[in-house]
Each structure stands twice: as C-alpha cells, then as structure tokens.
Amino acid sequence: MRRPFAFVRPAISLALPAFSFASVGAPEASAPAEKRAETERLDLAAFVKAAEEQGHQLGEARARLVYAEARADMADAKRWFSGTLDTIVAPLPGVSGGESPLTARTDWSSWGAFWTTRLEVIQPIYTFGAIDGGRRAARAGLEAEKKLFERDRWQLRTEVHEFYFGYQLAFELAEIARDVVGKLEGALEATKGRKLSAGDRDRLEDFLAEARARLAEADKTLAQIRAGMAWKIGVYGQQTPRWDRANLRAREVKLPSLETLQAGARETRPELAALAREVEAKRGLAEVERGLSRPTLFVAGRLNYGVAPGRPDYASPYVQDPFNELSGGVGVGLRWNVGFLESSAKSRMAQAEALQAEAKSKHLGPAILAEIEKNYRDVEEAATARSIRDRAGESVRRRYQDALAGYGVGAESAKTLLETMGTYAMAEKARLEAIFQYNLRLAKLEQSLGSEFTPER
C-alpha cells in the first residue's frame, strides 16, 4: 500500500538544450494556502524526537506494547485466587401457618424482601507447570514486543532521515536552478550591447524559460517535503517545520570493521533479541499445554448467606431453607480435563510451534547478518562515489567559471556557455545526490545494527 507523502528523492537532469526537475511520488495536493505558525529550527535529532513523541506512526506499536503488558499481568494473576460473588435482592411472598414447614402455605397477600449472597473462591496449589509456563510465555512475549517497538522506532528514524536530507538535497538543487536562471538573465542582459545571432539568442531564451519552469517545480517540491515532514512529526495542518540548515552535508562518522559491527548487532539488533524471546514464549506455551493435560490441585471455599424477614427461620438440620441460611466450608479439590486425545494433540501442536520458532531464529539470524553486510558494502560504495563526485565537481566548476567569464567578454559563444552550464549543473546534481545516498545508506546501516555511529569531531 502506498503510504501518504511517500518520499522519493527529487532528481534534476540537465541536458542541452534544457533541464528537468522531477519529484516522483511526491504528494500532488498542495498545502492549504493559509499562513501557519512555524516550528523552531530543528536539527536531525530534534526531528527524530518529534516524530517519536508527537507523530502517530508509533501509536499502533505502543498499543501492542500496552496489550503485551496487560497480558503479562494477567498471567501473573493466575497464581492467585479467583472467585465469584453473586448477590440477589428480590421480593418474596410470605407464609401462613409457618410454625412447621409441613403446615406452611404461601401467603400471596403478604410480601417482604429477600436477599441472598454466594461467595466462591479457588486458590490453585499445583498445576504441573501450566501457570509458570504461562507466566514465562507472557513475559517473553512482552520482551519481544519491546524489541519490536524498537524495530519500528528505527524504521521511523530512517524515514525521518530521508525527509531531512531529502529537503536539503531539494534545496541545493533549487539553488542550482536559481543560479542558472540568474546567470542566464545576466548573459542576456550582457548581449544587449553587442551583436548576437538569432540562433544564439533563441538558445539562451529557451534555456532560460525552461530553467524558470524547473525552478518553480523545485520550489513546489520543497513545499511538498515540508508538508511530508510536518505529517511525520505530527504537526501537519498546524505548523510548518523549519530545518536547522538547508545545505546538504555528509555525515562524518568513524566506520568500524564489518566483523565488529556484526558481533555487536547480536546484542543491539531488535529483531535478533525478539526472535530469542519468541522461542522462549513458544516453549512456555508448550509447557502450558502439558500442564493443562494433567490434573490441577486447588483449595476452594464457599460461603452462602441469605435473609428473608418475611419467612420463618427453621432451625432444624433436616429442613432445607433456601431463604434464611448461613453455610460454608473450605476443602481441597482436584480438576482434570479427561479429554486426553484433545489435550495430547494440543500439546504436540504447541511443541511444534516452539520448534518452528527455533527454526525461524536459526534461519533469520544469519539473514540479518547478511543484511548488515549488504548495507555495509552500500555505505562503502557510497563513500567512494562521494569522493569521486567531489573531485569531478571541482574541475567542472572551474570550467564553468571560465566559460562565464569568457562569454562576458565575448570570447565564448552562447552554445559553449550553455554546454558548460549543463555539464556544471549535472556534475553538481551528481555530487549532491552522492552525499544524499551516503547519508541515507548510513542511516539504513544504523537501522540494521540497531545502534547509532558516533560522529567524528
């Protein structure tokens, strides 16, 4: 299902005679026109914190966590007594000739009140592991849910990174488009005092018109990303988020070796810990089913109390009086489900689920380590690409400045200027996208590890 404000990084492609700025998958609907309050300037950590605390994406995960906590409390409560208390108040006709229960007759002309209370309490003594297994399963399930909450939190963090660095990328690309527009307007202004062929003037004007259109599209993309971030941090329709800085920079971190990261991930990766807790929970449920197939020993108590003022209280032990009574007692009991075939089948099913969880853990454990290696290689490749793009951008930038200066004094043609301008814009786009990809892949590697890298000072 396509989520709202699905973020796909904006891309600018410069090719003669024009360039295009496309934002694929960004929301088409523009934000309402009214002026909204702005947030304070937020850095990346502040955006992540706002998304976790104010956004609604983790709401379902929090609800699952609350449910797991309640289920664990319920399993703990199984250790203690349970019971029922029934109270009935009702009108009751009187009796005549009530000296003896043999001569008493119902008197429908005389009515009185009737009140009866029954209390029954059962305290388990020994359940052959059913209660203890249920408690272990519930506690393991709670710990697994906590780890899955951490998994969802890391996923949210990566998505916020996409919006944060995506806005900076879009801003930088918009600045390139704005620079192209300004330089072209200056070039056209400079040609008013000298002879220029109709073809060169047409090229300049066509390129300028296209650049202005793409600049407008770039500004629209910035507004869309701001709306997406507002939705992500839970302030859409109320406030407009502001970035601490608009320029895109590469995160500077110290990257440990792959072996070190994989070893640490066994402790920090939420899914790995959740798998271990799932195995423990399934084993606990298997123990529950084994215990339920055996008898349960318990202590039970009962108290009956009834009052009917309109009825005589017969003191004879041979007369059952359901209206005026006080009785009770305590005893030891045994309850056994004698559906042995069904109990045996349920026990085998629970054991099979435990084996399935163990097999799943053995399968997914190495898969997670392989995912970490993939993300690690992606970061290495992105770092190499960023270095290459930085070096290439420096030489292209010098040629661009030389072409501008040469055109200003008439030493370069409009065609040469436009070609150099297109090459410069594409080189800058590639450099910025390399930084964006590096930052994003670094965030994905951190997500796969379940831990954050320490920034280099």
Which domains does the chain show, CATH number per domain?
Answer: 11-30+39-79+129-295+341-449 (1.20.1600.10), 85-126+300-335 (no CATH)
Please check the confidence at residue 36 and state whether its pLDDT lies above 70: no
pLDDT in tens, 380-439: 999 999 999 988 888 888 888 888 788 777 777 777 888 888 888 888 889 999 999 999
Question: 299: part of which helix (H) or strand (E)?
Answer: strand 296-307
pLDDT of res. 362: 87
Please check the confidence at residue 147 and state whether its pLDDT lies above 70: yes
pLDDT of res. 1: 36
Looking at the chain, the whole-number percentage of residues with pLDDT higher than 70 is 90
Closest CA to 350 of 282, 438, 409, 302: 282
- pLDDT bracket for residue 320 (50, 70, 90): confident
pLDDT of res. 138: 95
3-state SS of 1-45?
A: CCCCCCCCCCEEEEECCEEEEECCCCCCCCCCCCCCEEEEEECHH
Closest CA to 19 of 421, 448, 441: 421
pLDDT of res. 35: 57
pLDDT of res. 125: 94
The better pLDDT of the pair 323, 12 is held by: 323
pLDDT in tens, 134-143: 999 999 999 9
- pLDDT bracket for residue 40 (50, 70, 90): confident
Question: Which is it for strands 82-96 and 18-22: parallel, antiparallel or unpaired?
Answer: unpaired
What token pair was written down for 339?
A: 């559906």
Please check the confidence at residue 2 and state whether its pLDDT lies above 60: no
What b/e sequence results for 188-224 when a residue is b if at least 16 CB atoms lie within 10 Å of its CB, and e otherwise?
A: beebeeeebeeebeebbeebbebbbebbebbbbbbeb
Please check the confidence at residue 457 and state whether its pLDDT lies above 70: no
What token pair was written down for 59?
A: 């709401």
Provide the H-helix boundaries in 293-413: 340-408
Please check the confidence at residue 120 and state whether its pLDDT lies above 60: yes
19-35 mean pLDDT:
39
Which range, of 3-12, 171-180, 343-352, averages the lowest pLDDT? 3-12
pLDDT of res. 331: 94
Contact 43, 244 (CB under 8 A): yes
pLDDT of res. 436: 95
pLDDT in tens, 155-193: 999 999 999 999 999 999 899 889 888 888 887 777 776
Query: Quick check: helix, strand or coil at residue 441?
Result: helix
- pLDDT bracket for residue 87 (50, 70, 90): very high
